[in-house]
Amino acid sequence: MSTVTNPLLPGCYPDPSICRVGDDYYLVTSTFEYLPGLPVLHSRDLVSWEQIGHVVDRPGQLDYTGVASSGGLYAPTIRHHDGVFWIICTLVDQRDASRGGNFLMTATDPAGPWSDPVWLDAGGIDPSIFFDDDGRVWVHGTRLAREPRWHDQTEVWVRELDPVSKSLVGPEHVIWHGAVEGVVWAEAPHLYKVDGTYYLLAAEAGTEFHHAESVARADSVTGPYVGYKGNPVLTHRHLGRGSDVVGTGHADLVQAADGSWWAVLLAMRTYGGYHYPLGRETFLVPVEWEQGWPVFAPGVGRVPTEVDVPFATDPRPGLVQGGTSGVVPSADPRWTAVRALPTEVATPAGDGWDLPLRAATLADVEVPAFLGLRLQHRDADLTARVRADLADGEEVGLAVRQSEKDHVRLAVGPDGDGLRARVVHRQRGEDRVLGETSLAAGAGATLTLSVRARGADLELLVGAGDGAPVVVGTAATTDLDTVATGGFLGLWLGVYGTSAGRPTQTVAHVDGVEYVPAV
């Protein structure tokens, strides 16, 4: 037996979906505007996870042009059937509802390559796919109700899929509006068949404080579905905003090889008051069945801090589980970029990168010169050594990114014969300088740039050449999380460079980026 500590995947790994093939488990999560998209993780025991690839990992697979922060890829579902892995997901462009939609991708190897998307004639979000034992395939998802009885009422629909043409066929059936009268955002539906009965698992009440998981069952895949009298089967809203974990929901069930049942789900760890700068993370809870209904975290009734997994031995948490420290090489699967692949904005150079500056800034809904990592720990340091021969108006630095409208950047640019470093907080689209200092170093000097997170407090430091780093300014993660700013994302830390709208040939040489959890 091994014990896994929750969250299973720390940092912004929301909307988890899981499937089992023999003794192997595969899991995917949402990635929104970051690429590569939809990480695929593998485990043999539900305890130790290794990232084996991404679903969206090559140019041109999906068009992210103009997709603003907290748009992009929402709520994937992964399933396996007859030797083929299936992903169904939504591409959301919140600024242009006519773009994007629900799509399918397939692969015979979950590590990839995955197919190009096949778009479905179905609106809404959070699609899922169910393979019945009679050979029929059913797609289901959520959308705003066609004839709503209250604001933000949603409905879960189901419709048959032709697996050969990958097109929806036959009539559509609306099967669910949520367990609670007046509830908003009944979403993240998944269908299962257990002992001849169909079960619908769905979240509701929005993916924030009131998030909850409910279940219904039926004798037919198209319903009618009857809700469980004990709904919600999992929520933390009754624990209050002082709870250390809030927002539990968006669950997916899996049966282990030994017959036991488990659920992966999202939730948020709070700190610095009612804030969750790490975003929506992936958690694991045991599930048992009683009188034909699932019981989540039996005997506890909430997401436990630690979970005993009887069939797991010798835990070996992988990179994505936050157990590593030190240099993050360019081949590390944690690297992401915004609306483009990391290798589309930079060139690997040993363990570092050559990062050409771009005209786009972090405030633009374009492709900035930004390479980032999820913040996965309350206390952590990110340090990068950067060298660039900057022209007037250009800057390089580190950023703590929430969105285009909300981020903090440590920016270094030319200042006469030297350099000047500033800490700038962009809040609701407006810039405010939090601190600045001059550096006695010329163009092309090697800069040591650091972000130090200690709970809700951020320190941003810079050193030039052999000089000791100094604090340029301070900020707070609680001014950047989704409680403060909106959206769906946790925080990213990364290196960036911009010419602020001007043509440029400048390249920033990024060496030895280190991510170090502070234990």
Same domain, 361 and 299: no
CA separation for the pair 342, 514 (Å, rounded): 17
Shared-domain flag, residues 18 and 150: yes
The whole-chain average pLDDT of the chain stands at 96
375 and 282 part of one domain: no
The whole-number average pLDDT for the span 211-236 is: 98
- Cβ atoms 248, 268 nearer than 8 A: no
pLDDT of residue 362: 98
Rounded to whole angstroms, the maximal C-alpha distance in the chain is 77
Structure tokens at 399: 């950023």
Are 441 and 414 within one domain?
Answer: yes
What pLDDT was estimated at residue 94? 81
The catalytic residue positions are 15, 187
CATH number at residue 469: 2.60.120.200
Q: Quick one: pLDDT at residue 487?
A: 93
State which residues form the domain around 440.
Answer: 326-517
Of 295, 321, 347, the residue that ends a domain is 321
User: Is residue 442 scored above 90 in pLDDT?
Assistant: no
The average pLDDT across 283-293 equals 98
Q: What is the pLDDT of residue 317?
A: 81
Average pLDDT over residues 320-348: 96
Tokens for 144?
Answer: 């705003």
Six token digits for residue 267: 């939730």
Residue 311 has pLDDT above 80, yes or no: yes
Q: pLDDT tens for residues 253-281?
A: 999 999 999 999 999 999 999 999 999 99
Question: Which of 275, 292, 321 is the last residue before a domain boundary?
Answer: 321
**3-state SS, residue 342:** helix
Interval 389-413 mean pLDDT: 97
Q: Within a 10 A sphere around the Cβ of 438, how many other Cβ atoms?
A: 11
User: Mean pLDDT throughout 184-202?
Assistant: 98
pTM beyond 0.75: yes
- The answer to whether residues 185 and 84 belong to one domain is yes
The CATH number linked to 131 is 2.115.10.20
Q: Where residue 96 falls among pLDDT bands split at 50, 70, 90?
A: confident
Pairing of strands 100-107, 84-92: antiparallel
Do the beta carbons of residue 52 and residue 333 sit within 8 Å? Answer: no
pLDDT for residue 266: 98
Contact assessment for residue 26 and residue 53, using Cβ atoms and an 8 Å cutoff:
no
The candidate with the shortest Cα–Cα distance to 248, out of 272, 275, 284, is: 284
Residue range 108-166, pLDDT digits in tens: 999 999 999 999 999 999 999 999 999 999 999 999 999 999 999 999 999 999 999 99
Query: In this predicted model, what pLDDT tens digit does every residue of 487-508 receive, in sequence order?
Result: 999 999 999 999 999 999 999 9
Per the structure, how many domains does the chain have?
A: 2
